[in-house]
Homo-oligomer: A and B are copies of this chain.
Amino acid sequence: MPNHTTIAFDADLETIRSEIRDMGGAVQRQVADAGIALMRHDAEIARSVIALDADVDRLLREIETKVVETIACRQPFAVDLREVVSAFHIASDLERVGDLAKSVCKRVLALDARAPGALTSSIAALSSLVLGRLQRVLGSYADRDDAEAADVWGSDQEIDEAHNAIFGELLVFMMSDPRNIGSSTHLLFCLKNIERMGDHATNIAEAVHYMVTGGRFAADRPKGSDASLRIAPQ
């Protein structure tokens, strides 16, 4: 029969889970809207993503406070301790994804009309892929589903391939006319920011794995090579 401490701890845990759910929802909206803002060159949507950042920061602080209180008051151990510590890490990664979506949107506001629609659409499509990974990994957290987390962790090849293809197109666009360099620089950073959101989804997968199993994934994650590190000398 559960005692008082167990009941209080379960209530704390439920609060933390619900706050992570709220934060995950807000950050997913930021990522989705950043893609739309980029594709449509929509300043209003871009501004709404930037504005949402304050809410995400507030949620991060609330989760951090709740996690620290829970560790101090309930002194959890084993799987219970792993769950609250993992929540701390997941919230931190989510905050950084939101930050990256904000950075993309700042560039949308700075982007001139020279950016070709085909390129911005490709980058927006990449952000949809990343959003899919984020949804799956947050699902794996909610369901404590280690198999799903492992699957997200091990399968970012699709993202790598799409990233590398777009990077190649961007270089061609840059080289074709020096007047394209301003827009290309913005798009280069947008592309990089979206790729990094994918890395944070991978970090969250690691946190879920640690939470459920207490173990760490092997260090050598199957990762495609980064085309931006393989630029051939011209």
Contacts and interface: CB of A to CB of B under 8 A. Distances in A.
Q: Copies per complex? A: 2
Given A72-B76, A192-B189, A229 B178 contact: no
Contact of A114 (B71, B76, B234): B234
Interface stretch (A7-15, A30-38, A104-112, A144-152): A104-112
Interface string A69-97: 00111011100010001000000100000
Contacts of A73: 75
Interface stretch (A126-134, A154-162, A179-187): A179-187
Contacts of A182: 171, 231-234
Given A72-B81, A92-B92, A185-B188, A229 B174 contact: no
A165 interface: no
Interface string A29-64: 000000000000000000000000000000000001
Contacts of A178: 174-176, 178, 234
Contacts of A71: 68, 71-72
28 contacts: A64-B85, A68-B71, A68-B81, A68-B85, A71-B71, A71-B72, A72-B72, A72-B81, A73-B75, A75-B75, A110-B229, A110-B230, A110-B231, A113-B233, A171-B181, A171-B182, A174-B178, A174-B181, A175-B178, A175-B181, A176-B178, A178-B178, A178-B234, A180-B234, A182-B231, A183-B231, A185-B188, A185-B228
Interface of A: 64, 68, 71-73, 75-77, 81, 85, 92, 106-107, 110, 112-114, 171, 174-176, 178-183, 185-186, 188-189, 192, 228-234
| Smallest CB-CB A-B distances: 7 pairs | A179-B234, A182-B231, A175-B178, A112-B233, A71-B71, A72-B75, A110-B229
Given A72-B75, A92-B92, A182-B231, 10 more contacts: A68-B81, A68-B85, A107-B229, A110-B230, A110-B231, A114-B233, A171-B185, A179-B234, A185-B188, A189-B192
